[in-house]
Structure 1
Amino acid sequence: MPEVRVIGLEGLPELGPGDDLGALLAEACARAGGLEAGDVLVVAQKAVSKVEGRLVRLADVEPSARAVELAGEEGDPRQLEVILGESAEVVRSRPPLVIARTRHGFVCASAGVDASNAKGPETVVLLPVDPDASARSLRERVTELTGVAPGVVVSDSFGRAWRQGTTDIAIGVAGLRPLRDLRGTRDSVGYELRSTMIADADEIAGAAELVLGKSAGIPAAIVRGVDVSGDGTAQELVMPADRDLFP
């Protein structure tokens, strides 16, 4: 019988710039019974960003007139200034909410800038500069220490058009196939699929979030039992501009 398991990795300390996250993950995997061939290691973006030093103290930020405008009466202009600095484009705004396209190509709230679970008050966490590179680095370090080469997904919470609530998606990927292309195959009644592509990396990130959560204090999980063998990057999951019906 097909089965998928999600195993939360407990016992990781509060993380800071320069910490060896790969070694800490390897130790946490050992405590959970060890990695197996085919496992996918899902790591929350904030854990990655913290060790990479992607932190900004708002006391050091001087807001621009545009940031003051976007903050409105309820927002913090300093945080809006950080958001503008992380944005390639402001897609929509309703002060103090900003939906932005990041330099990675992600369209998300606040360009991924977030104050929750930050390291200290008046501090915000930014997305990694290159989440795919972050995933590759973690995979190499964990493989070096454990002898097992897992797939790695760096995950973050995103909202979705037309749907309430957030779900985790993959913003960085290494050692796995992020998309399953079913175009040209046939379904059970013989119909040829013409456009079906499954975002396997996003589904894995969403499954892992069930044990991570915003307040659980568990920044990583093993997802076991999913065949995503292959290779690719999270950039494959970004909608190309020429196919974006909702720019």
Structure 2
Amino acid sequence: MTSLRVVAPDGVGEISEGDDLGQVLLAACRDAGVELADGDVVTITSKVVSKAEGRQRTGDRESAIAGESVRVVARRGPTTIVRNHLGLTMAAAGIDASNVAAGQFLLLPLDPDATARRVRQDVLAGTGRNVAVLVTDTAGRPWRNGQTDIAIGAAGLVVLEEFAGRIDDYGNPLAVTAPAVADELAGLSELASGKLGGRPFTVISGRADLVLPPGEHGSGAGALVREDGADMFGLGSREAVVRALAGTDGAIFGAPAVAADLHAAAVDVFGPAEVIDGPGGAARVVVRGVSEPSAYAARALAHAFGWHVRVTTAAVAGTVDVSFLPPTP
């Protein structure tokens, strides 16, 4: 039988700039009668980390979002989803105006992984207990309503549990199964801490198998971030169209597509298209007899798919032939 236990100590006061979160955590556990044990996972909300780091701001929130952003992923009216400096894709760059005085807001922590490592070392020094530490924050999910907590910082924890290569009970090999256990533990912690309870720390027991030995901090939460260009949804639908038409930031669309994928897209856009094999198996995709204005769509399509395009005059007046050429002939 497997069981998990999560405890969120009450009585944690307001966190101010310069506070030592490791000592605040140990005091909260002491006052609540929570005894840390080897293999526990401690979670800390990003809000108190930001407050301790002095990341509280007033003024123009939109300017703050721009300053925390690497690029805009999607924008719909007042909602802006960006890729921020931590590599996280979040609404408003993760800037939060809750649990602070009116007119103020909090930027995300500067280095959540480093904070997790520091608190982990403080716990080991203060108690002799080997725990893992997560820094958590709330985020939305593509295709899903509502939000859940995720891990944005980690130390001493296996953040991704690799099952690839294992065999299930039916004899099927597992290919890409990798539970994001750090995010799952972060979501569990939020059920105990709540949004308005003033309980920024939780202690989770029951997954000591994920906790690394003392001194081994692991990959950190950065291992959970998919790199730009590797995500199939790296841009909003409108933004993807604009980027392709403008011919900028091609890397965001990912690695060049295979010929079959580009061919399918060309059929969707233009109708009949053919794949013609070239020297060394370098196929090209050809669309014949399209209108001259369609050449602009062809250039956008080639850019989005990482191919080159060549437009030549066709036999029928006013039409052109479009050849999509692989990026490395």
Per the normalisation by structure 1, the TM-score is 0.89
SS in structure 1 at match of 2:210: coil
1:133-144 maps to which residues of 2 (within 5 A)?
133-144=114-125
Is the counterpart of residue 92 in structure 1 residue 74 in structure 2?
A: yes
| Contact 2:9/2:34 (8 A) holds in 1 | no
Using the alignment, how far apart are the partners of 1:168 and 1:236 within structure 2? Answer: 17
SS in structure 2 at match of 1:197: coil
Q: Deviations over 1:184-233 (max 9, x none)?
A: 00111111101110101000000000011211111110010012123221
- Which residue pairs with 1:130 in the alignment? 111
- Aligned residue identity for 1:2: T
- Which residue pairs with 1:214 in the alignment? 195
- Which residue pairs with 1:188 in the alignment? 169
- Which residue pairs with 2:53 in the alignment? 52
Using the alignment, how far apart are the partners of 2:83 and 2:229 within structure 1? Answer: 15
Q: Deviations over 1:87-112 (max 9, x none)?
A: 00111112311100001110011001
Q: How big is the shift at 1:29?
A: 1.9
- Which residue pairs with 2:86 in the alignment? 104
Using the alignment, how far apart are the partners of 1:92 and 1:143 within structure 2? Answer: 42
Using the alignment, how far apart are the partners of 1:8 and 1:97 within structure 2? Answer: 32
- Which residue pairs with 1:167 in the alignment? 148
Is the counterpart of residue 43 in structure 1 residue 41 in structure 2?
A: no
| Contact 2:84/2:93 (8 A) holds in 1 | yes
- Which residue pairs with 1:61 in the alignment? none
Using the alignment, how far apart are the partners of 2:134 and 2:177 within structure 1? Answer: 22
SS in structure 2 at match of 1:149: coil
Using the alignment, how far apart are the partners of 2:153 and 2:187 within structure 1? Answer: 14
- Which residue pairs with 2:223 in the alignment? 236
- Which residue pairs with 1:224 in the alignment? 205
Using the alignment, how far apart are the partners of 1:39 and 1:243 within structure 2? Answer: 33
| RMSD value, Cα | 1.0
Is the counterpart of residue 246 in structure 1 residue 233 in structure 2?
A: yes
Q: Would you say how many aligned residue pairs link Structure 1 and Structure 2? A: 227
Using the alignment, how far apart are the partners of 1:32 and 1:115 within structure 2? Answer: 32
| Contact 2:180/2:224 (8 A) holds in 1 | yes
- Which residue pairs with 1:5 in the alignment? 5
Question: 2:181 aligned to 185, 194, 200, which one?
Answer: 200
What are the ranges of 5 or more consecutive residues in structure 1 without an aligned counterpart?
59-77
Greater relative contact order structure (CA < 8 Å, 6+ sep)? 1
Once the two structures are overlaid, the 10-residue window that deviates more, 167-176 or 29-38, is: 29-38
SS in structure 1 at match of 2:170: coil
SS in structure 2 at match of 1:198: coil
Using the alignment, how far apart are the partners of 1:229 and 1:134 within structure 2? Answer: 17
- Aligned residue identity for 2:53: E
- Aligned residue identity for 2:45: A
Q: Deviations over 1:138-167 (max 9, x none)?
A: 111122112112100000000000111000
Using the alignment, how far apart are the partners of 2:86 and 2:167 within structure 1? Answer: 34
- Which residue pairs with 1:70 in the alignment? none
1:68-83 maps to which residues of 2 (within 5 A)?
78-83=60-65
Using the alignment, how far apart are the partners of 2:121 and 2:102 within structure 1? Answer: 33
Q: Deviations over 1:106-151 (max 9, x none)?
A: 0011001010012x22111011111101111111112211211210
Using the alignment, how far apart are the partners of 1:139 and 1:179 within structure 2? Answer: 19
Q: How big is the shift at 1:4?
A: 0.1
- Aligned residue identity for 1:241: D
Q: Deviations over 1:26-59 (max 9, x none)?
A: 112223331011000000000111001111121x
